[in-house]
Structure 1
């Protein structure tokens, strides 16, 4: 799966990491829903760090379509709230059962 972190580029992330990324996405969703700025900042940082840890960066000149678009580390809680509204139940979809 190709994930784009806005302003930072694309990362190829194996499906085997999606469950962990979903857990981090759930933490982010809870922080946004609670309006807890401190928890939000920590959850967003953890999610983006995990994408970079688990993913392999694609070359800057690669023209691959992104499966997911994630906010950058400087995004505000309101910006992420808007992204969550358009995505539904989080930024990262769960694996089919």
Structure 2
């Protein structure tokens, strides 16, 4: 699957690795719902770091359709709130 991090680029991530992101996604959803700014910021950074760690960056000139779009590391709580579904940022996890 192709994951885009807004403002950074795309990474190829095995769908089997989505489960590795589930805990962070659930934490992020809870922090956004509570309005926990510091917790949200830390968890968003951790989630994006995990995606970068588990994924393989695509070349800058590659442009493939993204299966999942994640906010940039400097996204605000309100911006992320708009991207969330009932499942968090990562549907089905």
Same fold (TM over 0.5): yes
Under TM normalisation by the shorter chain, which class is it? over 0.9
Are 1:94 and 2:71 matched, yes or no? no
Is the CA contact 1:6–1:70 (under 8 Å) kept in the aligned structure 2? Answer: yes
Are 1:80 and 2:80 matched, yes or no? yes
Equivalent residue runs for 1:1-97 within 5 Å:
1-84=1-84, 87-94=85-92
Is the CA contact 1:22–1:94 (under 8 Å) kept in the aligned structure 2? Answer: no
Q: Which runs of 5+ in 2 are unaligned?
A: none
Counterpart-to-counterpart distance in 1, 2:69 and 2:24: 15
CA RMSD across the alignment: 1.1
The alignment covers a number of residue pairs equal to 93
1:18-71 Cα distance to aligned partner (Å, 9 max, x none): 111121111100110010001100110010000000000001111210001100
Measured after TM superposition, the shift of residue 93 of structure 1 is: 1.9
